[in-house]
Amino acid sequence: MSIFDKKNVSSNSVKKSFFEGKKKYGTKWQPVSSEPLDDEDKVAISKAVVVSSEYGLSCCFFMKNGDLYFQPMSRDSQATVGEELDIDSIKVVTLRKSGEKDIERIMEK
């Protein structure tokens, strides 16, 4: 009888790959969705301005209630520092990379 005969292999003895579940390096963030802001968010925003931040450009959302929110801009964005974005043209791009949590970036249409 061959050592590869299925009769000799229990269903619990299937060996997993050494790399299964390990963090991958050198992979790129891939877009998985691109959604406009919902109407509830749009009405709450007073204006959205592109600002310089530690890791590149961010969008500063000035809320009507006085709050400020900062969200990184997409690296594909053509916006420049100081530019006020049309709230209706803003898209939230979700990026995914194996072994990492999804991230969101702001992109203007």
Domains: count for the chain: 1
Residue 83 within a domain = yes
pLDDT > 80? residue 50: yes
Round the average pLDDT of the chain to a whole number and report it. Answer: 88
- Residue 53's pLDDT is 95
Is 55 a member of any domain?
A: yes
| 20 occurs within a structural domain | no
The domain in which residue 95 lies consists of 34-108
Q: Is 71 inside any structural domain? A: yes
Q: Tell me: the pLDDT tens digits for 68-93?
A: 999 999 999 999 999 999 999 999 99
* pTM given for the model: 0.76
Question: What pLDDT was estimated at residue 21?
Answer: 76
Residue 9 lies in a domain: no
CB atoms within 10 A of CB 95: 17
Are the beta carbons of 11 and 86 closer than 8 angstroms? no
Tokens, residue 81: 């520092």
Determine, yes or no, domain membership for 75: yes
pLDDT at 108: 94
Is 29 contained in some domain? no
Chain segment 5-49, per-residue pLDDT in tens:
445 555 556 778 888 877 777 789 999 999 999 999 999 999 999
Q: In this predicted structure, what is the pLDDT of residue 17?
A: 87
Q: Is residue 60 part of a domain?
A: yes
Residues in contact with 94: Cβ distance below 8 Å, sequence separation at least 6, in sequence order:
31, 32, 33, 34, 35, 102, 103, 104
